[in-house]
Structure 1
Amino acid sequence: MAVTIDDRATARRGRWAVAAMFCTNGFIVGSWAPQIPLLMTRLDIREATMGLLILGFGLGALIAMPSCGLLIPRFGSRKVLTAFALTCTLGLLLVVATSSVWLAVPALVIFGALVGGMDVAMNTNAVAVERKLGKAIMSASHGFWSLGGFAGGGLGGLTIQRFGALPHAAFVAGLTLIVVIVAIRFLLSEDQPAAETRTKTRFPRQPAVYIVGLIALFGMIPEGAVLDWAAIYLREERGADIATAGFAFAAFCATMATMRFLGDIVRNRFGAVQTLRVSSLIAAVGIFVAGLSPTPWLAIAAFAFAGFGLANIIPIAFSAAGNQPGISSAAGMSVVTTLGYSGILVAPSFIGFIAQSTGFAPIYLGLSALLVFVFFAARFAAAADGARSGH
């Protein structure tokens, strides 16, 4: 079926609209990070209790993600994304407005569910845009998420310091609501799946989609281990001061964001499977060297190198999920996002528990083995190139 000029113009507008959604989601999540210490003080709780509350956020997301796999085939990713995005803008305000632990628990579960549901819907919509454009845009979309997270975290601390926690949450709600209202007008509406495809949404039988889910899981566990524990690893086991330890997170995020904006160009040139294989090896080497590093600065350089590799594992896995033959994009996306995000939402807490006995160095060495699995499983991500052929 020929693609008209009007179709391409619509797809291009949809491409920037879904990019705005990724940026908004990242901005909301990034804005949550500087609110955490204030929430602990306001509720008079310790780290262990806060850890359980954060786990509630993750569980809310993991509950909502597979649910979206049922909603999107029925209503389309545009409508589901619109609903989740509009309500997600109020999620942080809901949490910050709580005055007790018992109110914070359901507020964080709801917040996590809104963020997670929006995540599945926007990734599914990005797959629809890829099909319409006939080229990859997933890596850049995740790059916009990283930009939003960086802006949310950076502006959040300054805004809270000057105006307080509740005004900051209200500002986030107002700003993101405006962006979402503007963007939803231009979101792409994908073709409705056939009726027989909808019936396969709940439990896909194709084993390939679950292997792609493991690729996402094994890509996100090392990412979570770097984001949550790298600074502590450098400080406690490699003798870095606080300022130096903070560079691990910054360097990792910088290389990851840079590579995500370049990733679609690389993937369109070399294909998803080859890009995934090279990316997984780069990530494995970086994480392995970080675990062996005797000095903080060598570890920081290794984490930055790993960021180049980890950047495109998840975008490729998500494109492969949305283009699995025989099942709807939503069904594939819900399976892979649920498995993948459990690696960054749940796994870091287990890593911290294990590290109390072993230290972090052996953990990073072990995590590099997960990325070797990604290398050998890369052929199962070949469906990601369906975006380039327009089907």
Structure 2
Amino acid sequence: MTGRVAPPAGSFRLAVSALFFANGLMIGSWAPKLPALMARLDISEATAGLVVLMLGVGSILVMPVFGAMTARHGSARAVRLSAFLALPTLLLMSLAPNLLLVAAAVLLFGGFLGGMDVAMNANAVAVERTRRRAIMSSCHGFWSLGGVVGAGLGGMALSHLGEMGHAILATLIFAAMLGFALPRMLHDTPDAREARAPLRLPRQPLPYIIGFMALCSMVPEGAILDWAAVYLQREMEAPLSLAGWGFAACAATMAAMRFLGDFLRQKLGAVSMLRISAVVAIAGLGIAGMATGPVMAIIGFGFAGLGIANLVPIAFSAAGNLPMLAPGVGLAVVTMMGYSGILLAPGSIGFLAERVSFSTIYLGLAGLLIVPLLLSPLARTAEFTDEDEIASAA
């Protein structure tokens, strides 16, 4: 991909970071929205689970569409379209009068934000190529930060403004972020060979192998998000006030390490960084699984967050730089496979937890991270050296 004459390269990074924050803010706004929907529609947890499933189904259905659009027309156009289509979905969800229409709105919400996810990751890859410097980890750090803001302020907004007021506020912030970012983003265009290539799933195995690596990296993240508090309460006998700190420790260390990740990847190289991250994550999950008390388990989850933080950003960057493959196509495959880990993890782990202990499950998830450790040489396409940076500045 090549970038045309545009604002300074620093504004490209600022713009794509703002897009990640905005997307994370909308996804984070979903967390406090679900209980409000359950109360308004008077639905059970099982029915709510089906509504949540629509979020993932929408993402998996729509991601390939915007991956193909990115490959054919460039990431900037795909970001713009997906973001505009995502803009009213939280409002539609709040206005929907019955379960069927709410489920349809959630499908669109997950789909268009998922499409934006693919396109903005491709744009981050294009900015990396332009700058010859890693930025993907910090972009995902801004996504995490947006999620924290969306979830934290969303709960307060729902309490004080009501469901519709919260939706309006989140939509206005999202629109403002788009207004800032879209005019400043890198407008990349595919080269003639990519533009003429037929849009189909890649035949080479590398995108699917990297996608499997991303899936194995995201399942533990989903397991901590959904089940850490249950583990701390049921098996560690932690009080409710302490149980939430399992995921909080993981999320905090993950966000912090993502902002450090680009610097470390630049210095250590993507392959070494991925290996170190996998080892730290394995150690953290091992500590959590073998913990004899809640504090030790929380410390383990914190170490796991340090390791998990940069596994997926490196995988996405590697997928977007695969030779002989348009970035949008490679990223669509890897994001679909990776996010399916978040989608599949909650139900699968709930099923397993009825038969084995959570401590055994977390130890098993530590073993799962051996996959990205073994596949780490595939991250070589995400390498950026200091020599590249000097050459691009010359």
Structure 2 CA distance, aligned partners of 1:282 and 1:112?
A: 31
Structure 2 CA distance, aligned partners of 1:280 and 1:136?
A: 19
Structure 1 CA distance, aligned partners of 2:3 and 2:47?
A: 54
Alignment check: 8 A CA contact 1:42 1:99 kept: no
Q: For residues 387 and 125 of structure 1, do their structure 2 counterparts lie closer, same or farther at Cα, with a shift above 3 Å needed?
A: farther
Cα deviations by residue, 1:211-249 (Å, 9 ceiling, x for unpaired): 111111011000000011101111111101111001111
Structure 2 CA distance, aligned partners of 1:285 and 1:197?
A: 44
Kindly state the Cα deviation for residue 387 of structure 1 after the two structures are TM-superposed: 8.6
Structure 2 CA distance, aligned partners of 1:14 and 1:335?
A: 25
Kindly state the Cα deviation for residue 200 of structure 1 after the two structures are TM-superposed: 5.4
**Are 1:160 and 2:143 counterparts?**
no
Counterpart among 137, 142, 159 of residue 140 in structure 2: 142
Q: Which residue of 2 aligns with 1:46?
A: 44
Letter in 2 for 1:33: A
Structure 2 CA distance, aligned partners of 1:102 and 1:376?
A: 44
Q: What SS does the corresponding residue of 1:203 show, helix, strand or coil?
A: coil
Q: Tell me the TM-score normalized by structure 2.
A: 0.95
Q: Which residue of 1 aligns with 2:349?
A: 351
Alignment check: 8 A CA contact 1:200 1:327 kept: no
Kindly state the Cα deviation for residue 198 of structure 1 after the two structures are TM-superposed: 4.9
Structure 2 CA distance, aligned partners of 1:134 and 1:265?
A: 13
Structure 2 CA distance, aligned partners of 1:288 and 1:11?
A: 42
Structure 2 CA distance, aligned partners of 1:298 and 1:266?
A: 27
Give the CA RMSD over aligned residues: 1.9
**Are 1:97 and 2:95 counterparts?**
yes
Kindly state the Cα deviation for residue 277 of structure 1 after the two structures are TM-superposed: 0.4
Alignment check: 8 A CA contact 2:3 2:186 kept: no
Q: Which residue of 2 aligns with 1:85?
A: 83
Kindly state the Cα deviation for residue 358 of structure 1 after the two structures are TM-superposed: 1.5
Structure 1 CA distance, aligned partners of 2:194 and 2:143?
A: 34
Q: Tell me the TM-score normalized by structure 1.
A: 0.95
Alignment check: 8 A CA contact 1:209 1:336 kept: yes
Letter in 2 for 1:92: L
Q: Which residue of 1 aligns with 2:297?
A: 299
User: 1:337-348 alignment to 2 at 5 Å?
Assistant: 337-348=335-346
Structure 2 CA distance, aligned partners of 1:18 and 1:125?
A: 7
Structure 1 CA distance, aligned partners of 2:259 and 2:198?
A: 34
Q: Which residue of 2 aligns with 1:131?
A: 129
Q: What SS does the corresponding residue of 2:203 show, helix, strand or coil?
A: coil
Structure 2 CA distance, aligned partners of 1:23 and 1:383?
A: 26
User: 1:267-306 alignment to 2 at 5 Å?
Assistant: 267-306=265-304
Q: Which residue of 2 aligns with 1:245?
A: 243
Counterpart among 317, 331, 337 of residue 315 in structure 2: 317
Cα deviations by residue, 1:99-142 (Å, 9 ceiling, x for unpaired): 21111121111111011001000000000000000100000000
Q: Which residue of 2 aligns with 1:203?
A: 201
**Are 1:217 and 2:219 counterparts?**
no
Structure 2 CA distance, aligned partners of 1:72 and 1:186?
A: 18
Alignment check: 8 A CA contact 1:251 1:304 kept: yes
Q: What SS does the corresponding residue of 2:184 show, helix, strand or coil?
A: coil
Cα deviations by residue, 1:66-88 (Å, 9 ceiling, x for unpaired): 12221112221001101111222
Structure 1 CA distance, aligned partners of 2:241 and 2:196?
A: 52
Cα deviations by residue, 1:134-180 (Å, 9 ceiling, x for unpaired): 10000000000011001111101111111111110011111211210
Structure 2 CA distance, aligned partners of 1:161 and 1:146?
A: 23
Structure 2 CA distance, aligned partners of 1:368 and 1:16?
A: 35
Structure 2 CA distance, aligned partners of 1:184 and 1:197?
A: 22
Cα deviations by residue, 1:308-353 (Å, 9 ceiling, x for unpaired): 0000001000000000001000111001000000011232221112
Q: Which residue of 1 aligns with 2:225?
A: 227
Cα deviations by residue, 1:19-38 (Å, 9 ceiling, x for unpaired): 00000000001111111111
Q: Which residue of 1 aligns with 2:169?
A: 171
Which deviates further from its counterpart, 146-155 or 348-357? 348-357
Structure 1 CA distance, aligned partners of 2:214 and 2:300?
A: 21
Structure 1 CA distance, aligned partners of 2:259 and 2:319?
A: 20
Q: What SS does the corresponding residue of 1:123 show, helix, strand or coil?
A: helix
Alignment check: 8 A CA contact 1:34 1:157 kept: yes
User: 1:10-49 alignment to 2 at 5 Å?
Assistant: 10-49=8-47
Instruction: Give aligned pairs, total.
Output: 388
Kindly state the Cα deviation for residue 201 of structure 1 after the two structures are TM-superposed: 4.2
Alignment check: 8 A CA contact 2:96 2:102 kept: yes
Cα deviations by residue, 1:37-71 (Å, 9 ceiling, x for unpaired): 11001111110110111011101001111122211
Alignment check: 8 A CA contact 2:267 2:385 kept: no
**Are 1:60 and 2:58 counterparts?**
yes
Structure 2 CA distance, aligned partners of 1:373 and 1:176?
A: 37
Letter in 2 for 1:378: S
Structure 2 CA distance, aligned partners of 1:108 and 1:387?
A: 42
Counterpart among 247, 251, 265 of residue 263 in structure 2: 265
Structure 1 CA distance, aligned partners of 2:61 and 2:139?
A: 23
Q: For residues 86 and 99 of structure 1, do their structure 2 counterparts lie closer, same or farther at Cα, with a shift above 3 Å needed?
A: same
Letter in 1 for 2:327: S
Kindly state the Cα deviation for residue 269 of structure 1 after the two structures are TM-superposed: 0.3
Kindly state the Cα deviation for residue 383 of structure 1 after the two structures are TM-superposed: 0.6
Structure 2 CA distance, aligned partners of 1:144 and 1:178?
A: 16
Alignment check: 8 A CA contact 1:61 1:116 kept: yes
Instruction: Give the fraction of aligned pairs with identical amino acids, expressed as a percent.
Output: 46
Structure 2 CA distance, aligned partners of 1:187 and 1:380?
A: 29
Structure 1 CA distance, aligned partners of 2:347 and 2:196?
A: 36
Alignment check: 8 A CA contact 2:212 2:337 kept: yes
Structure 1 CA distance, aligned partners of 2:163 and 2:189?
A: 43
